[in-house]
Structure 1
Amino acid sequence: MRPLGHILSAETTFAGFLDRRRNELAILHHVRRNLPPALAAQVGIAAVEPPELALLASSGAVGALLRQRVPDLVEKLAHAGWQFTGIRVRVQPRPPRQSSKKHTIKQLDGLSAATLRAHAERLADPELAAALRRLADHGAAPSDDEEALGSVKKQRSE
């Protein structure tokens, strides 16, 4: 069984693509090595079209910092053998990560609140019993009196 890399490199269409990709990764590695780690993590390659290199920045602030370092990067790349006359910086914000799940607040149901109150009555420690009662009162479902704007509704009916 041949590895996928060998199969793709045998095809002329894919071989050119793989060579370009290897070249881009080598340039990106060299660029990132010459940047501070926090900045390097926010930089990518947009296009490698000699004599100009286009870099991607994940935000406007990263783009501004990157633009300040362009002359130094051109010099470092020239020392490594890549002859670029300039570097363009494009800002392309990354989409938010998928960790934006809706967080549901866990609430006590009536049965759990009643259980807490029952245990609070049996405790010898008054402070702990008071804490359990507060927890049970806080977690219990709101009654009509505790409903928001409940007092306003009562005033209107009178």
Structure 2
Amino acid sequence: MSARKLQSYFGATATLAALAGQAERVRVLQQHWDQVAPPPLNLMCKVSGLQDHILVLYANNGAIAAKVRQLAPTMLDKLKKMGLEVTAIQVRVQVNPPAPERKPVKSLQLGSAGMDSLRQLAERLEVSPLRQALERMLERHTK
């Protein structure tokens, strides 16, 4: 599907057209924010929008929000020099929990002494589910 066809869907209804316009404004504001904010802060804050000439940002945590508030006058001046009609910067905190870490799958290998001991144990056992389980395990580890 080409981009032109996709764009035609955004204009299909007034609601979608308004939503597409708002998304574009936020995208442009985010680009401006990325240019004026210092590198650690521009990655930790996302633009929500512009409401009544107030730039609304969401910070990842309270410490980042405090730093943005501290630097807000400087960044506000830079945004004005870029031609944006921004009178204030409002920072809200929206914590994004980190994705859970996946534990690596353990790959255990038996040494030759361990293999010999298990083989001897299996040979001494009577025919039973335990002996069958040991034999299957030994087969898997000898491949």
Question: Which residue of 2 is the match for residue 102 of structure 1?
Answer: 103
The two structures, once aligned, show a CA RMSD in angstroms of 2.6
| 3-state secondary structure, aligned to 1:47 | strand
Extract structure 1 runs of 4+ deviating beyond 4 A: 109-112
Instruction: Give the residue type in structure 1 aligned to 2:63.
Output: A
Residue by residue over 1:83-136, the C-alpha shift from the partner in whole angstroms, topping out at 9 and shown as x without a partner, is 2221111111112124x1234443344777336xxxxxxxxxxxxxxxxxxxxx
Instruction: Give the residue type in structure 2 aligned to 1:54.
Output: V
- Per the TM alignment, residue 2 of structure 1 is displaced from its structure 2 partner at its CA by 5.0
Q: Extract unaligned runs of 5+ from structure 1.
A: 116-158
Question: Which residue of 2 is the match for residue 53 of structure 1?
Answer: 55
- Note the 1:67-146 alignment, pairs <5 A: 67-98=69-100, 100-109=101-110, 113-114=114-115
TM-score, L = length of structure 1: 0.62
2:77 and 2:4 mapped to 1: Cα distance?
41
Indicate if the aligned counterparts of 2:29 and 2:49 stay in contact, CA closer than 8 A.
Answer: no
Residue by residue over 1:9-53, the C-alpha shift from the partner in whole angstroms, topping out at 9 and shown as x without a partner, is 242211111111111111111111112222211110123212212
Indicate if the aligned counterparts of 2:46 and 2:58 stay in contact, CA closer than 8 A.
Answer: yes
Instruction: State the structure with more CA Rg.
Output: 1
Instruction: Give the residue type in structure 1 aligned to 2:49.
Output: A
Question: Which residue of 1 is the match for residue 140 of structure 2?
Answer: none
Instruction: Give the residue type in structure 2 aligned to 1:106.
Output: S
2:58 and 2:39 mapped to 1: Cα distance?
16
Instruction: Give the residue type in structure 2 aligned to 1:5.
Output: Q
1:24 and 1:82 mapped to 2: Cα distance?
13
TM-score, L = length of structure 2: 0.67
Instruction: Give the residue type in structure 2 aligned to 1:11.
Output: T
Question: Which residue of 2 is the match for residue 7 of structure 1?
Answer: 9
2:64 and 2:25 mapped to 1: Cα distance?
23
Residue by residue over 1:46-84, the C-alpha shift from the partner in whole angstroms, topping out at 9 and shown as x without a partner, is 232122121011122221221122111221222222222
